[in-house]
């Protein structure tokens, strides 16, 4: 039988996965070079949802730039807003009130939780379990309600303005957040019962899509995907911003580097996020919710860079100013783009069905890649 | 040989066990319908209430005398990143001083271009506009989304400058 298999001549062929494919989570086209069902090469083709956000920023004032970043990584939009605001505040040499720092940190962590909940649901669905999708969205609904009450929107919140927050937190914010934590602490073990221990799930993720630490560093992979390979790259620890320097949390590191490790890293991050919120929610300092800024913000000429940790990895905002009310140039270093570049390395030698699992654990958001 | 047979059966046992662990969770919700949080959306339309900060659409606040606070200063038009708001202003004679002053003729709002960023509301010096909590915006024709916010015959409140 083996002899026959050796004698059959196989031919490499191409197949397009996407741009409209249910498991690419958006309009991403992957050109696969296949030998049978084995992947020889993956070439991602981008640009299907390119909206030239960086160019649009050049005509907008600094207050207006913030709302465009909602549309990049829509699952971590508060953190994107925060990145732009931190960069502008850096340029203005503006110290924001303590209250703002703490509220920003709490909402950032809530955003991270809601993003990971959605990722968990969608990951299960990619691997054939509809149940997880509904369960993930059930718990995410409580967070979107908190956002809706405080920020005014469920997804594109635009809650940050350079210098602080758009409005103060809603009086119900603390109570609702505590209720959510109490609820989610009971529900997160359910996630483990449904997916982590499931035999089909573990068979499809353990040992699949290996990424070594060296490759993670050389491809610029960041976030939970890189920390699952043992690359310590948490910006919250390395370069603390907002109130991260005053909270106690662990940086999640795994060394296996496969899909299952990336899955575990995100689940463990959810516990850490809850720990951060718990430490801060009762200690929101009194004070102003916004530092005083001029109506027209002009940054002094120069270059400003700030990086933050989004649910997907490291987001960098680079602004060049020439003393006008619009930025001269804005560049976003988005985590999704760099993470996607390692896909080829991870998927080679595995089957098409494994590629779906690998893409899920990279947690790609296509508007973040294309911008 | 015996080891592999043992592994075969323990794999089956663990697999079946893990499936039942998951099914226990889903079974819990079958027997506890009180924990289900699904809302029956079109049916609960009458009782569904949005939060007070929810951004549905921009409205110009009118009081019972059909008066609004908009001075036509165009601060919202400048603050808008997408050109959603268009203010067409007119000239009128101030009754008290006799000098010409600016009033709004039409306050055009293009809902189809709005990103609900709330910057116009923050920019308004007289708090004349606010976000309404409406949520069903679909229409049959695109032109229906371009709205005139000042009601016919409305005028500016006294004392607003």
Low-confidence stretches of chain B (pLDDT beneath 50)? none
d(CA A192, CA A126): 17
Residue in B closest to A190 by C-alpha: B25
pLDDT over 60 at A142, yes or no: yes
Dig out the tokens for B13 from the structure.
Answer: 């046992």
Angstrom distance (rounded) from CA A86 to CA A305: 9
Answer whether A199 sits within 8 Å of B37, measured CB to CB: no
Residue A340 predicted with pLDDT over 80: yes
Query: What CA–CA distance (Å, rounded) separates B53 from A169?
Result: 11
- pLDDT of A2 > 70? The answer is no
A160 close to A308: Cβ distance less than 8 angstroms: no
For residue A51, what are its two tokens?
Answer: 């909206």
**Contact status, residue B125 vs residue B73, Cβ threshold 8 Å:** yes
What pLDDT score was predicted for residue B140? 92
CB contact under 8 A, A149 and B18: no
Q: What angle do CA A167, A173, A177 make, to 5 degrees?
A: 140
Give Cβ neighbours of residue A308 (< 8 Å, ≥ 6 apart): A79, A82, A83, A86, A235, A241, A314, A315
Whether chain B has a CB inside 8 Å of the CB on A32: the answer is no
Phi then psi for residue B128, to 5 deg, are: -85, -25
Q: Do B119 and A64 touch (CB under 8 A)?
A: yes
| Interface contact B22-A194, CB threshold 8 A | yes
Asked if the ipTM is above 0.85, the reply is no
The residue of B39, B82, B117 whose CB has the most chain A CBs within 10 angstroms, and thus the best one to mutate to test that interface, is B117
| Spatial distance between the Cα atoms of A315 and A81, rounded to a whole number of angstroms | 11
The candidate with the shortest Cα–Cα distance to B54, out of A323, A282, A156, is A156
What integer pLDDT is reported at residue A1 of this predicted model? Answer: 55
Contact A54, A327 (CB under 8 A): no
Choose the closest CB to A63 out of B15, B119, B131: B119
Mean of the pLDDT values across residues A257-284?
A: 89
Q: Is A290 helix (H, G, I), strand (E, B) or coil?
A: strand
Query: Residue A364: which pLDDT band, with cuts at 50, 70 and 90?
Result: confident
- Please indicate whether residue A6 or residue A217 has the higher confidence score (pLDDT): A217
């Amino acid at each position: 039988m083996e002899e026959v298999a050796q004698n059959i001549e196989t031919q490499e062929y191409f197949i397009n996965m996407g741009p409209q494919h249910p498991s690419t989570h958006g309009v991403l086209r992957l050109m696969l070079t296949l030998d049978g069902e084995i992947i020889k090469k993956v070439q991602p083709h981008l640009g299907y949802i390119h909206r030239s956000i960086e160019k649009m920023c050049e005509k907008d004032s600094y207050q207006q730039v913030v709302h465009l970043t909602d549309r990049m990584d829509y699952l971590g939009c508060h953190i994107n807003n925060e990145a732009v605001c931190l960069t502008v505040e850096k340029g203005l040499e503006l110290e924001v009130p303590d209250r703002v720092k703490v509220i920003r940190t709490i909402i950032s962590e809530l955003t991270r939780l809601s993003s990971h909940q959605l990722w968990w649901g969608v990951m299960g669905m990619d691997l054939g379990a509809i149940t997880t999708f509904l369960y993930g969205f059930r718990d995410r609904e409580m967070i979107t309600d908190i956002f809706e009450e405080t920020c005014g929107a469920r997804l594109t919140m635009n809650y940050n303005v350079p210098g602080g927050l758009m409005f103060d937190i809603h009086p119900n914010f603390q109570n609702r957040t505590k209720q959510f934590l109490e609820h989610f602490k009971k529900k997160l073990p359910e996630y483990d019962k449904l997916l982590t221990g499931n035999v089909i799930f573990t068979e499809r993720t353990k040992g699949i899509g290996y990424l070594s630490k060296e490759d993670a560093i050389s491809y610029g992979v960041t976030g939970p995907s890189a920390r699952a390979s043992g690359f310590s790259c948490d910006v919250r620890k390395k370069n603390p911003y907002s109130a991260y320097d005053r909270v106690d949390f662990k940086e999640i590191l795994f060394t296996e580097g496969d899909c299952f490790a990336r899955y575990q890293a995100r689940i463990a991050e959810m516990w850490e996020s809850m720990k951060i919120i718990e430490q801060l929610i009762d200690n929101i300092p009194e004070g102003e919710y916004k530092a005083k800024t001029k109506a027209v913000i002009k940054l002094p000429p120069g270059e400003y860079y700030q990086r933050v940790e989004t649910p997907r990895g490291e987001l960098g905002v680079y602004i060049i100013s020439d003393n006008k009310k619009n930025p001269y140039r804005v560049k976003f270093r988005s985590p999704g783009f760099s993470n996607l570049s390692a896909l080829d390395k991870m998927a080679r030698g595995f089957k098409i069905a494994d590629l779906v699992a690998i893409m899920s654990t990279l947690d790609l958001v296509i508007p973040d890649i294309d911008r | 040989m015996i080891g592999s047979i043992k592994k075969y059966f323990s794999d089956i046992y663990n697999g079946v066990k893990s499936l039942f662990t998951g099914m226990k969770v889903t079974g819990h919700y079958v027997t506890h319908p009180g924990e289900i949080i699904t809302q029956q959306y079109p049916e609960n339309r009458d009782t569904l209430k949005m939060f007070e900060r929810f951004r549905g659409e921009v409205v110009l606040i009118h009081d019972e005398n059909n008066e609004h606070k908009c001075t036509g200063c165009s601060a919202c038009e400048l603050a808008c990143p997408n050109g959603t708001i268009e203010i067409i202003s007119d000239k009128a004679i101030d009754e008290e001083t006799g000098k010409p002053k600016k009033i709004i003729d039409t306050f055009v709002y293009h809902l189809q271009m709005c990103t609900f960023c709330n910057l116009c509301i923050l920019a308004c010096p007289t708090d004349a506009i606010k976000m309404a909590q409406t949520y069903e915006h679909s229409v049959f024709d695109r032109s229906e989304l371009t709205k005139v916010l000042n009601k016919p015959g409305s005028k500016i409140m006294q004392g607003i400058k």
